[in-house]
Amino acid sequence: MHSSFRRIASSDVRLSLTPRRRATRRPISTSSPPPDPVEPLTRPQLKPLVLGRYAKNGKFSGLARHVLSSPSVLLAACRNLAAPSPPDAAPPPPPPPSSALLESVSRRFSLSEMGREIAEGRFDVAACCVAMAPSRKKGEPLLLPGLKLKVLIEALRMVLEVVYDERFATFAYGGRVGVGRHTAVRYLKASVQNPSWWFTVTFDRQKFDCARVSKLCKVIEEKIDDSLFVDLIRRLFECQVVSIELGGCYLGRGFPQESGLCAILINIYFNGLDKEIQDLRLQMNKENLKFESNENVSDSTSNVFYKPVKVYAVRYLDEMLFITSGSKILTLDLKNNIVKYIEEKLELKVDRVRTAIHSPTMEKIEFLGMELQAVLPSVLHPPMSEKAMRARKKYLRQKEVKALEMRNARERNRKKLGLKILSHVFKKLKCTNGFKFDIQIENEVNEIFRTWADEVVQDFLGSLEERYNWHRVLSAGNFLSLQRIRDQLPQELVFAYDKFQKEVDKHLSPVKAMKALKEEERREEEEKEQKYAEMTVHDLTRLCIRVDAPIGLVRKAVKMAGFTNNMGRPRPIKLLIALDDADIIKWYAGVGKRWLDYFCCCHNFKMVKTVVTYHLRFSCILTLAEKHESTKLEAIRHYSKDLKVLDACENEMFYFPTEKEVKMMGDRNLSDPKPVDGVLTLALIRLAFDCKPLHSCIAHFCDRTDVVFYRIRLLQNRLNVNPLNEEKWISGLGVIHESLNRKCLPVCPVHIDDLYMGKITLQNIDVGSFVDVDDL
């Protein structure tokens, strides 16, 4: 058994991209030849194509020549870029028709020519890069992939996903379909029991240098025997268009400096560590099962509570969390072995000071931007408080009073309607010859009164008190029950009386109903006692994981972004006054929805909802009031608290979540919602500039030319704060690279809405469309 492994945590990977050469935006050619008909492959179609290259030696071969260079695969990559995966809460955008997509791609480059370059090893990675100059003299430049290179990167990711996805460990989250942050959080809340010790592994700030890239390529060569394929990945790192930096806050946040290929490459690099951890967990589970079967401690009637030693691991890209239910010595050995494996075999540097063992009950631990702590089950599911019990009783009383009022109203209406029916029938009888009617209504009247009678009887029998009173009146103190009186009366009268008494006892006797009522009360009392006993036992024998949103950091971020003043009260953001009313509301809605989506799985989600529905909502109202030089009350009367605006067709639109929607929100079982970083630290300010038709939209393969220029304003540049300074910046809050500050984007009306609302990010745009202010 090599090393006791468990969990590696809380280090982030950042993509540091350095510039190469500047690419200019060329006008789209409208005289390109008609493309050959090509259909993009779906994932089920791509899988057999990749698996068909599996050789007898256990490796894949010829992937670059026969799969990656296929125009159908490249067109599928273009489709993924044109319709990126939306947040879990948003409906997926419809993919563009394959013919229209193929025509749009052919205007920019030839898929067949690109495929030949890949198959022959002639693809020039450096020529497809775009250099972004820094906005200040001491800033670092950034190198980003052009649209053609993005297609290649997406195609590489698709192929690697088919090869490796089923080979990753079950506790490896991130960079996989349907397996993300919230999936990991649900596993922690549902599966982890009785944690004794836990720790996270924190990395020193370090880049993937040539040695680590070479090691990554060797790991890939263990499964893929294709020099062209591996050489493409190596050249991406050499050109710095793909870069991995440990110890930051950049992965999985949609930043432009982050490549879509990085997530799966990190999973491949850490796959060896995952296998060691998985082997250790399986060995411990076998030992526990053997002990349980010998000792018979799993009997539910036994008073012995057995807590097996278990090791839990969760890894989201480079953030790793390890939990044990054993002794501290076992956890210490596990941590030492993990750190040793990472430093010796993965050749990564670990921050040993911050990689420390903590007690789950005494200290909170930060993981995936949330706070974890082990608590008693009664803390997660507390019993009803006295105030809540009083409120419930009051509600039940009000419900009973309302039901009584409705029953009285129903009886009153029946009486009025019955009198009207009888009056109508009597008038008909007076107007007709005897009892002959032209219209026969006896059946209808009988049916109405029979239905009413049945309902009255059912209501009467449903009241235990009324049944008891009538039974006492009709059966008590009657002289016909005396034998000497019965002998003097006719037999028909006695039989009729006995029959009447049987019917009274049958329908009005409350004995059976009282027995059933007492039985129901006894059963409810027993269930209550049983539930209390189980809660007490669980509190004495179990510990669960509570996941909380870092509400202190959220409030600090709200203050730093300018939503609140020093007193914590909402204030306007004057930078946004230049935008339209709808764009102002969309920007606030994008920030609020990101927070609501990301923290919806937290136990203190109510506090996050308060931040969104109060601080953000009223900051938006005050910004609109500041723009129109009005008061807050006038803005509320015009826009309402739900911030409604009118579109071009005079329809009311609600972009910001309404108060009722926020109140009703809960855990929505999302997969991997992106955090708020990419929306909170970015502001798009519209320029008063008439765009020439030479510029097209920045979205991938969008040919619309009715665009408007927006200038990027980054939060760290506005505040003149260094994000590396933890005292002035928010811990764990990532930032967009400074080279994009004050760059201008031509955006069409459709995609500017998606950018404001956070449906797409700067990672999903064509960087060749960026324009400097001086060029306008």
pLDDT tens digits for 716-750? 888 888 888 878 888 888 888 888 887 888 888 88
Q: Are strands 60-61 and 13-14 parallel, antiparallel or unpaired?
A: unpaired
Q: Provide the CA 103 distance to its chain's centre, in angstroms.
A: 35
Read off the pLDDT of residues 472-502 as tens digits, 9 standing for 90 and up.
777 766 666 677 777 777 878 778 877 877 8
Full 3-state SS string of 184-219: HHHHHHHHCCCCCEEEECCECCEECCHHHHHHHHHH
Percent of the chain with pLDDT over 90: 33
Read off the pLDDT of residues 160-176 as tens digits, 9 standing for 90 and up.
999 998 899 999 998 88
Read off the pLDDT of residues 397-427 as tens digits, 9 standing for 90 and up.
999 899 889 888 888 887 888 788 778 777 7
Q: What is the pLDDT of residue 477?
A: 62
Q: Across the strands, what pairs with 311? A: 324
Work out the mean pLDDT of the chain and round it to a whole number: 82
Q: What is the pLDDT of residue 440?
A: 61
Read off the pLDDT of residues 286-299 as tens digits, 9 standing for 90 and up.
777 554 444 444 44
d(CA 283, CA 306): 18
Average pLDDT for residues 36-42, to the nearest whole number? 78
460, 466 contact by CB (below 8 A): yes
Q: Identity (one letter) of the amino acid at 51?
A: L
d(CA 384, CA 375): 18
Q: What is the pLDDT of residue 689?
A: 64
Residue 272: pLDDT band (50, 70, 90) is: very high
Token pair listed for 213: 């890239």
Is the confidence at residue 760, as pLDDT, over 90? Answer: no
Q: What is the pLDDT of residue 15?
A: 31
Is the confidence at residue 125, as pLDDT, over 80? Answer: yes
762, 682 contact by CB (below 8 A): yes
324, 331 contact by CB (below 8 A): yes
Q: What is the pLDDT of residue 23?
A: 39
- Is the model more confident about 34 or about 217? 217
What are all long-range contacts of 721-730, with beta carbons under 8 Å and residues at least 24 apart? 729/560, 730/553, 730/556, 730/557, 730/560
Average pLDDT for residues 639-656, to the nearest whole number? 88
d(CA 235, CA 247): 24
Read off the pLDDT of residues 198-209 as tens digits, 9 standing for 90 and up.
999 988 888 888
- Confidence (pTM): 0.79
Is the confidence at residue 755, as pLDDT, over 80? Answer: yes
DSSP one-letter code for 776: -
Q: What is the pLDDT of residue 17?
A: 33
- Is the model more confident about 537 or about 665? 665
Closest CA to 246 of 168, 134, 346, 178: 346
Closest CA to 713 of 686, 691, 694: 686
319 three-class SS: strand
Residue 326: pLDDT band (50, 70, 90) is: confident
d(CA 220, CA 401): 73
Average pLDDT for residues 7-18, to the nearest whole number? 34
Q: What is the pLDDT of residue 200?
A: 93
Q: Across the strands, what pairs with 207? A: 245
Q: How many CB atoms lie within 10 A of CB 7?
A: 26
How buried is residue 579: exposed, middle or buried, by Cβ count under 10 Å (0-12/13-18/19+)? buried
Phi-psi region of 149 (alpha: psi -120 to 50; beta: other; left: phi over 0): alpha
- Is the model more confident about 142 or about 693? 142
Is the confidence at residue 152, as pLDDT, over 90? Answer: yes
Is the confidence at residue 13, as pLDDT, over 70? Answer: no
- Is the model more confident about 381 or about 331? 331
DSSP one-letter code for 312: E
d(CA 280, CA 425): 89
Residue 649: pLDDT band (50, 70, 90) is: confident
d(CA 173, CA 180): 5
249, 258 contact by CB (below 8 A): no
Q: Among 32-36, 57-61, 154-158, 374-378, whose mean pLDDT is lowest? A: 32-36
In Å, what is the CA distance from 322 to each residue of 61, 138, 202, 638?
Answer: 36, 40, 12, 53
Residues 6+ apart with CB under 8 A from 339: 201, 350, 352, 355
